[in-house]
Structure 1
Amino acid sequence: AVNGSVYLILLLMGVSLAGLENLGSQLSRLGGNALLLFSITTVLNLGALWWLSRQVALKAGNSPVVKNAPTSKLAAMQGSLMLVGVVAAGVAFGLLIGPIIGETLFTTADWLAEWVLYALLMLIGCQLRNSGMPLKQILLNRLGLAIAVTLALSSLLAGLLAAPLLSLSWNEGLAMASGFGWYSLSAILIGDQLGPLMGGVAFFNDLTRELLAFILIPLVIHRHTALA
């Protein structure tokens, strides 16, 4: 159900993107803005986490094996690339059906995406409960909290730096950087507040961060745990 919700949200997001005027030029702008935000965020994230790794000289321990988890970078990246395909399918559907139904299609897609997001958040809560990992274990994980705080602060700084370059206010820049890789959440929340174009920027920024993680984690995990 979680996987299905994610795909449905991204399909609806694609339909919303199809409602943009001058879609071709808007998509070009979307890609440029997403690349700019991604580049600034990545440089600051990796620099801050590399510094943290140097401060915390830890040896990589044995990680638990997750059943049915991807075993290669290619297999992991295929799943992420499929998400891009779902968005593209939503855009194509919107372009085909939009002229027939009209603006109602795009407003309905926005409304449905928001409610599917609420269902997704509830399902993720169920997942956390069923994982068997108590909140105490999460909150008392000092290294995990240090990594999370370092990642959050460096990401928010990136949002502040990127804001004037994206013609956004400082608080909108912070919002764009606050997805922390959660593309299905950031795409809908940003899209609701700043429009489908910026929602698309947030989606591709966060999805590209995930793709980069799939590539870099196996390369650095044994030397720089916090960075991985």
Structure 2
Amino acid sequence: MQTPQNLDNLITLILVLAPLFIGFALPLNKTLVQLSEKMLGYLVYVILTLIGIELAQVEGLGSRITDILMYVSVLSVLTIGSGLAALMVFDRFSPWTPAGKNSNAAPKVSIRGSLLQVSCVIIGFVIGMFLPEGYRPPADSMTVLLMILILLVGIGLKGSGITLKEVLLSKRGMQTSVIFTLAVLMGGIVFWLIFDEVSLTQSLALASGFGWYSLSAIVMTDAYGAVWGSVALFNDLVREFFALLFIPFFMRKTPSAAVGLGGATSLDFTLPIIQQSGGLGVVPLAISFGFIINIVAPVLMVVFSSFG
């Protein structure tokens, strides 16, 4: 007989996956895709601001800042380092050269977007410090925003023009995705071994963000509270910073590792710098890899976090 906890876990998984499939099922419309992309950009800022507001409500937060910084530092090194190392070994023993020549133009690296995202959290935190209790966001706000976020992502994925069949037929994309996922989860296991206060499933859930900061922040906040939600958020933002700075460097000899650095953002935010530093030939790999990771990340986060 299914327990209430298992039922809650199933409902949570449905709430995450249903909007994704609905987004895929909607008729492809250029106007709808453009509108969803625009709305997604604004929604991310709203979500990050709300996370800042919730973080401000945590009692004794000042005493937890050092812990948060420590958790983020260790988790970032483990998740970014494990995925990067595994894919570098993969490139070493299974060399792959993108079709076409690399771009000669120096890629333009912009961290403006990442700084803006961090600013939203800070603004939300300041608002939360002075916000009267009666004006705080409803308890289910994050769940509603999560469903909208996943729906918009589903529309965007379908609007990218690539089908699931094309993704699965990309052998290199599948291999890169599997190696990356397993390696990063191994990093999560090491995180669990280091910190006694963190459970194995919680460590795996935190590691499963794969750079999707808006989603990981919501799921981890709902599952473990605002402190761990902020750890997930900044862990994935660190990946974004690192990817923007070092994708061109690793692209020279290890293109799969360079693509893997972006994690879930390889499909969108870091795709331009992947193309600029690796040429058009590396774009299919980035799209296939990013597509798969965008599907895998929410499933793993919800499944692992449901076990506490």
Query: What TM-score does the superposition give when structure 1 sets the normalisation length?
Result: 0.89
Match of 2:146 in 1: 117
Q: Deviations over 1:98-141 (max 9, x none)?
A: xx326x626x2x52122112101101111111111111111111
* Aligned residue runs from structure 1 range 65-76, under 5 A: 72-73=108-109, 75=110
Distance of 1:122 and 1:72 partners within structure 2: 31
Distance of 1:195 and 1:5 partners within structure 2: 21
Match of 1:87 in 2: 121
Amino acid at match of 2:250: V
Asked if residue 101 in structure 1 is aligned to residue 130 in structure 2, the reply is: no
Distance of 2:172 and 2:203 partners within structure 1: 28
Partners of 1:34 and 1:204 within 8 A in 2: yes
Match of 1:132 in 2: 161
Q: Tell which has more relative contact order, 1 or 2 (C-alpha 8 A, sep 6+).
A: 1
Amino acid at match of 1:91: F
Correspondent of 2:67 among 14, 26, 29? 29
SS at match of 1:151: helix
Match of 2:294 in 1: none
Match of 1:202 in 2: 232
Structure 2, unmatched stretches of 5+, are 1-38, 259-308
Q: Displaced runs of 4+ in structure 1, greater than 4 A?
A: none
Distance of 2:76 and 2:241 partners within structure 1: 11
Partners of 1:2 and 1:123 within 8 A in 2: yes
Distance of 1:189 and 1:133 partners within structure 2: 27
SS at match of 2:221: helix
Asked if residue 219 in structure 1 is aligned to residue 257 in structure 2, the reply is: no
Distance of 2:159 and 2:81 partners within structure 1: 36
Structure 1, unmatched stretches of 5+, are 66-70
Partners of 1:50 and 1:227 within 8 A in 2: yes
Q: Deviations over 1:168-225 (max 9, x none)?
A: 1111111111111111111111111111101110111111011111111111213211
**Structural RMSD (CA):** 1.8
* Aligned residue runs from structure 1 range 44-83, under 5 A: 44-62=82-100, 72-73=108-109, 75=110, 77-83=111-117
SS at match of 1:20: coil
Asked if residue 170 in structure 1 is aligned to residue 204 in structure 2, the reply is: no
Amino acid at match of 1:223: K
Distance of 1:224 and 1:14 partners within structure 2: 37
Match of 1:68 in 2: none
